[in-house]
């Protein structure tokens, strides 16, 4: 049982590749740790030894669209059981670089999988739990591409064409409109410093 007043929160970081999630997750972790919270930072796909093996497959192997969706949720099931639920029941705060909104954005928005199939998987893998807060880092595609090109070797998703990412971004924004209490859209075209001020404001309200 979590001590009263010590309940941790579950925060997820979302956005198209190159939007700035990884840049800001470290800031949020430090911000919370400085306020006495115990923070567990993790990511999807991945976050567990098995999940990291699935991540390798997901990011580098061609596969059927439904196989991809199922493996994303297989990784998530493991992540829930081994990391997210134990951490939350200890009263820790959990930060996850992507979660189920990414499946809706990429597998449904980007690739066209029927949303109802993802809703069925969501109902199976985490029927009760939703993030307390989802930070959606939003940038126009051109900005995200430019940031990505400058930094790294691109994986299977990052090599997709522009219209794929437009569709992912639109699905993220559609979900932000659908779940306004949970998903906060952060204008990620701003400077890193300006975004951090905004994040501090958002976190202040949450804790």
Identify each DSSP E strand in the chain by its residue range: 10-14, 39-43, 93-97, 133-138, 183-187
Contact string (CB under 6 A) for ligand ADP, positions 62-91, x = contact: ------------------------------
Q: How far, in Å, CA of 53 to CA of 34, rounded?
A: 33
The binder of 102, among ligand TYD, ligand ADP, none, by C-beta within 5 to 8 A per type, is ligand TYD
Q: Return the structure tokens found at 6.
A: 């010590």
Q: 16: which DSSP letter? A: S
Q: Which long-range contacts (CB under 8 A, 24 or more apart) does 56-62 make?
A: 58/156, 59/155, 59/156, 59/157, 60/155, 60/156, 61/156, 62/156
Contact call for residue 197 and ligand ADP (CB under 6 A): no
Contact call for residue 147 and ligand ADP (CB under 6 A): yes
Q: Which is nearer to ligand ADP, 103 or 188 (CB)?
A: 188
Region near ligand ADP per CB under 6 A, out of 34-42, 70-78, 123-131, 191-199:
191-199
Contact call for residue 153 and ligand ADP (CB under 6 A): no
User: Contacting ligand ADP (CB under 6 A), which of 2, 6, 22, 112?
Assistant: 22
CA 111 to chain centre: 18
CA 27 to chain centre: 15
Q: How many residues bind ligand TYD (CB under 6 A)?
A: 15
Residues of this chain that bind ligand ADP (CB under 6 A): 15, 17-23, 147, 151, 188, 191-192, 195
């Amino acid at each position: 049982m979590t001590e009263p007043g010590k309940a941790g929160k579950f925060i997820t970081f979302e956005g198209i590749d190159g939007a700035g999630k990884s840049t800001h997750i470290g800031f949020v972790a430090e911000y919370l740790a400085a306020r006495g919270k115990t923070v567990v930072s993790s990511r999807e796909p991945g976050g567990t030894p098995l999940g990291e093996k699935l991540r390798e497959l997901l990011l580098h192997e061609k596969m059927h669209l439904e196989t991809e969706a199922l493996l994303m949720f297989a990784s998530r099931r493991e992540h829930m059981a081994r990391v997210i639920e134990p951490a939350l029941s200890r009263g820790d705060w959990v930060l996850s670089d992507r979660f189920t909104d990414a499946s809706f954005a990429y597998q449904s928005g980007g690739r066209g999988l029927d949303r109802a199939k993802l809703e069925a998987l969501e109902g199976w893998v985490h029927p009760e739990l939703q993030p307390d807060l989802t930070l959606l880092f939003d940038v126009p595609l051109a900005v995200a591409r430019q940031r990505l090109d400058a930094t790294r070797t691109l994986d299977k998703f990052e090599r997709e064409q522009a219209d794929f990412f437009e569709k992912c971004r639109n699905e993220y924004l559609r979900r932000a409109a659908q779940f306004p209490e949970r998903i906060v859209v952060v204008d990620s075209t701003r400077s890193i410093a300006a975004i951090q001020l905004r994040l501090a404001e958002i976190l202040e309200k949450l804790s």
